[in-house]
Amino acid sequence: MTTEVDAMLRRLHMPTVRRLWSELQVRAEKEGMGYAEYLRILLSEEIAHRGQTRVQRMTRRAHFPFLRTIEEFDFTFQSSLRKDLLGSYLGPELVEEGRNLVAFGPSGTGKTHVAVAIAYRAIQNGSDARFVTAAHLIDELSRASQEGKLRETMAAYTHPGVLVVDEVGYLSLGTDAANVLFQVVNDRFTGRGWPACLRMDAKGHARRPPIVSRPPERA
């Protein structure tokens, strides 16, 4: 019986249930657990494991330079930025409503941390995300354009639920580079209405907290 059940669970791709069902059966018999409760526990564990696996998979695909959460951000150090100012950018409505965000300020003020944390929260909320520097994005798409592969290459940046473009302020954009960046943001905005988070640096300014700016939302 055990071998047969294991084989069926393997075919159903339910590894967590397969790992736990026999052990839980012993516990259920000892505690007089009902069939419904036994099944509920098994399915809850399977759902939780699949959710955790999905978050791990999406986090790897996002290509974050590091992983930070909003809970790890030092709001006492950057006292002008409060967690409640981020509001719905930490909820599922970030993607559902196609909200956009610009983090603007001098280097070392936590803009990339905030951008990564927002994108990671979006993954936890069921979406996917992609992180890229402006230089890498422009180089890759410019090369793809020359090779006649622009549309298929752009898909990596227009399909994810959240796109973070980092270090925008480090670049002095020529016309062609500016057009490439505009095309990505515009395609996301007018197509699926999915958000982009731009991280910009204000050079030559005194050290101060990052400024979070909310561009006009999609109508």
Residue 135 CB-density burial (10 A; 0-12 exposed, 13-18 middle, 19+ buried): middle
pLDDT of residue 213: 47
Q: CATH: 3.10.20.90, 3.90.930.60, 3.20.20.70, 3.40.50.300. Which one for 70-213?
A: 3.40.50.300
- pTM beyond 0.85: the answer is no
The 10 Å Cβ neighbour count of residue 164 is 29
pLDDT of residue 127: 93
Distances in whole angstroms, Cα of residue 175 to Cα of each of 95, 168, 181, 203: 30, 15, 10, 21
Domain boundaries, the chain: 2-55, 70-213
Kindly state the percentage of the chain with pLDDT values over 90.
Answer: 48
Contact 97, 214 (CB under 8 A): no
Structure-block tokens of residue 37:
């409760």
Distance CA 64, CA 114 (A): 12
Q: What is the phi/psi pair of residue 213, to 5°?
A: -115, 140
Distance CA 128, CA 161 (A): 5
pLDDT beneath 70: ranges in the chain: 1, 169-175, 191-219
Structure-block tokens of residue 219:
């109508």
Residues 6+ apart with CB under 8 A from 77: 110
pLDDT of residue 189: 78
- Residues composing the chain: 219
pLDDT of residue 172: 64
